Structure 1
Amino acid sequence: MFVEILNLARKDLINMNSTDNKFSFNTGVNITFLNDSLNVNSTKYNSSISYDNLDNYTYESVIQPRVTPFALAVRTLVLGWAIAFTITIPIKDEWGGIFFTASSLDIFLAWSSIIIFAGSFLISGLIFWGYVFSAAIQTPFLSRLINNYFSDHGILVTIGNKSGNNIEFYALDNEVSKIKEVEKEILNRRKSITDDASQNTSYSDLKKLKQLHEEGIITEHEFDLKKKQILGL
């Protein structure tokens, strides 16, 4: 009877593991929990890891700068010059605007162009020399500026494989709760696998024990004692 009950519990566990569960991230990554494996797919790749090969599950905040300090300095300079040049196009008397002998509009546009040109040159110079200075005194104030305003923020998720073929993908900062749900699902699936393996062992031991009793190798009393030991009673 105990063997039958254990077998029914094992079937219920298998049915529970057969339930699929899917998590979709805004970065285009989909995680699907299948019967015996975890599947991760996106537009670029499609990978699977069986639950018994899952080694670890980690996630950490990452910052990916979109520009380097030198590139930021160059972009600031080019953008400033482009705006300054565009402002000068409607001016009819450039020199008159500079020396305040032209119309008020020409004067305004001419000096706006000069200020923007000089300002972009000054700012780009400050960025470049600020980077050199911060590197010399090892103060990452410019790096913090780039990290705060010119970087992409996200979460790097790593699903470990015992063979070393880990799966990595990025999620957004506001998807932490979903990442934790995936972690909880992984723990539940791995626990189910462990429980299933334990039940398989108990089931096999009970079958052997019953066979020994039927063949008269062990007594009824020894059978009962060993059966309780296997079932943890």
Structure 2
Amino acid sequence: MQTETDKPCGKREARKQDRQQAILAIAQRSFLEHGYAGTSMSAIAAELGGSKATLWRYFRSKEALFEAVVDEATSAYRRQVADLLRPSSDVRATVLAFARGFLTKIVSREACQLHRLVAAEAGRSPEVGAIFARVPQRTRQLLADFFTGAMAAGQLRRGDPLAAAQVLTYLCMGLQQRILWGGPDATAAEVEAEAHNATEIFLRAYAPE
């Protein structure tokens, strides 16, 4: 049962979370519009309506704030992937569902904007590239864990699960490369066709011996 002393703490925590979400929303917009180097903690604090000291209570540096923005932008997708990649008797269906979801994510406008930002900034701000590199690493690790089980069950040929995860994700990246180089957005039909193509190539390469 909630006591009177619990209620203020709950309200404070809710206000803190709301404030943090507001910071992340402003920061994401600023990073995408102005780049990493062109975004300042002072400008974010001014738009938020507070001081830099207040902002620093939530994020100790611009690097930490950028990392939080990237994590916020990808956390829901990671949960979906983790839920999808459960042990299954139908590996083909699981691989296809992953490829379809992965493709849909990486060709989205938000993902392409973030990718362009990182590509433009990584040379002069290596920390930006290091932070962004963790996103595909986490996805590949989830996929590798699934492949470990599938290989042990004889559903896929044995090999390095992490290398297999890298193969599948790379097979899915053609449409994104086209968009990043100025090509038209991918259609739903193209995403579906590419997902099937990547799945077929991968399963032929990793068919049980």
TM-score, structure 2 length as denominator?
A: 0.26
Of Structure 1 and Structure 2, the greater strand share is in: 1
TM-score, structure 1 length as denominator?
A: 0.24
Of Structure 1 and Structure 2, the greater helix share is in: 2
